[in-house]
Amino acid sequence: MTVKSRILMSVAAFALAGAAPAVAQTEIQWWHALTGANNDVVVKLAEDFNASQKDYKVVPAYKGSYPDALNAGIAAFRAGTAPHILQVFEVGTGTMMSAKGAVKPVFELMKDAGETFDPKAYLPAITGYYSTAKGDMLSMPFNSSSMVMWYNKDAFKKAGLNPEAPPKTWPEVFEAAKKLKASGFEKCGFSNAWATWANIEQFGAWHNVSLSTKANGLDGFDAVLNFNSPAFLKHWTNLVDLQKQGVYDYSGRTNGGEGRFTSGECPIFLTSSGFFGNVKANAKFDWANAPMPYYPDVQGAPQNSIIGGASLWVMGGKKPDEYKGVAKFFTFLSNVDRQVKLHTESGYLPITKAAYEKVKASGFYKDKPYLETPILELNNKEPTENSRGLRYGSLVQIRDIWSEELEAALNGQKTPKAALDAAVERGNQMLRQFERTASR
């Protein structure tokens, strides 16, 4: 055999080897934004799915932070190279929804693929955020969390507070924070991450006070913001006063300030229940979490909390066979045992009722009550128009505007009333511009 023919042979063999799986397997691209332990969860899920059947291969790819992944998806769609599955954070829901043709709604996907799919099997507090007003599910919930109040039990003991009875209402939190400050936590009695999620979005849902008309935007893009109402004004005024006294201390717009809890600087800290892994790994003190505080004089409070986190969107314009693979993958994700495992190992909320019931029956929450707190908040009451969730276009920018106004109130540039009014007015300008681009 000549050298030349040998080379040809090996090239042919290589080509065959390379081509064989491509013919048999359909690749499904999955772009996500998770790092560290959560990235491992994504990779493991894809591996397990790929091992469970032969027809489809899910290929996960990390695309940066949540906004980065969303932008990467948008840019890829414009260039005609969108992935099949794109993980989008809850803030991007309005943007994705309005992009008709760019996405394939999940309920449609499941119907077309002939997969058994019962939207009622999922926890309504979670799917409500990602469904139309009629209840059609648009995206597949993936990693969900809610906001809880983390507190430092050792600090409570030091300040003479009962660590087993954390404060339930905002006035109780203020009192506890003042005592904590007096006991040595000079800079920060309590604080929160995600400035607007805590002090606008969750606050509205938990107190059953509206953020805007049209069920907080879920019923249409013509929603008009109206949260410059007494309950919000009262809360913002309290925060501003306590910031001046050094009892409250602002910790920024994102979760960059969460380290202030684990380092022991802020003994009471409101942030995502997804903070669990970080607290477990880094806090060198005894800790616990409790539901978010509320104002007892606001009627109906506490209502229920809303979710944060991300869901999986299916992009439009793909082949039916590829959609079939995506549908199979979603069925695989919703499997009860898989959800139980995901929830107990990663701390994400379970997305199906069956998974939650199973974990509950196993007695898991007796040892780890902090993993149940966000579920209890979400299920506290039947969601109302004000607590099903929120859906606005350009919410990333609107959140920045809201943060700017909250910061202006906290640093004394504006009165709380002026800041709230400006947050509403400037937010409405953004909504009207978005409505124009979305309604055509």
Residues that bind other proteins (CB under 8 A): 67, 71, 74, 77-78, 95, 98-102, 187, 243, 250-254, 257, 259-260, 263, 265, 394, 396-397, 400, 403-405, 407-408, 410-411, 413, 433, 436-438, 440
Provide the minimum distance between the beta carbon of 183 and other proteins in the complex, in angstroms, as a whole number: 19
- Name the residue nearer to other proteins (CB basis): 253 or 328: 253
Q: Is residue 126 within 8 Å of residue 355, measured between CB atoms?
A: no
Packed helices 336-346 and 36-52: angle between N→C axes, nearest 10 degrees:
160
- Name the residue nearer to other proteins (CB basis): 120 or 440: 440
Please provide the size of the chain in residues: 440
Helices within 253-352 (DSSP H only): 259-262, 276-282, 320-334, 336-346
185 vs 189: CA distance, rounded Å: 6
The token duo for 268 is: 């009471």
* DSSP letters spanning 231-264: HHHHHHHHHHHHHHHTSB----SSGGGGHHHHTT
As beta bridge partners, residue 308 has: 145
- Name the residue nearer to other proteins (CB basis): 6 or 436: 436
- Name the residue nearer to other proteins (CB basis): 193 or 209: 193
Provide the minimum distance between the beta carbon of 216 and other proteins in the complex, in angstroms, as a whole number: 20
Closest CA to 248 of 177, 172, 198: 177
Provide the minimum distance between the beta carbon of 260 and other proteins in the complex, in angstroms, as a whole number: 5
Provide the minimum distance between the beta carbon of 432 and other proteins in the complex, in angstroms, as a whole number: 11
List all residues 6 or more positions away from 19 whose beta carbon is below 8 Å from its beta carbon. none
Provide the minimum distance between the beta carbon of 251 and other proteins in the complex, in angstroms, as a whole number: 7
3-state class percentages of the chain: helix first, strand second, coil last, to nearest 5: 55, 15, 30
- Name the residue nearer to other proteins (CB basis): 362 or 433: 433
223 vs 197: CA distance, rounded Å: 19
- Name the residue nearer to other proteins (CB basis): 43 or 99: 99
Provide the minimum distance between the beta carbon of 75 and other proteins in the complex, in angstroms, as a whole number: 10
Provide the minimum distance between the beta carbon of 77 and other proteins in the complex, in angstroms, as a whole number: 5
- Name the residue nearer to other proteins (CB basis): 368 or 417: 417
What does each C-alpha distance from 34 to 14, 126, 362 come to in angstroms? 35, 19, 29
Q: Is residue 125 within 8 Å of residue 90, measured between CB atoms?
A: no
Provide the minimum distance between the beta carbon of 230 and other proteins in the complex, in angstroms, as a whole number: 24
Q: Is residue 144 within 8 Å of residue 351, measured between CB atoms?
A: yes
* Residue 117 one-letter amino acid: F
- Name the residue nearer to other proteins (CB basis): 279 or 359: 279
- Name the residue nearer to other proteins (CB basis): 74 or 180: 74
413 vs 91: CA distance, rounded Å: 28
Provide the minimum distance between the beta carbon of 242 and other proteins in the complex, in angstroms, as a whole number: 13
6 vs 142: CA distance, rounded Å: 50
DSSP 291: P
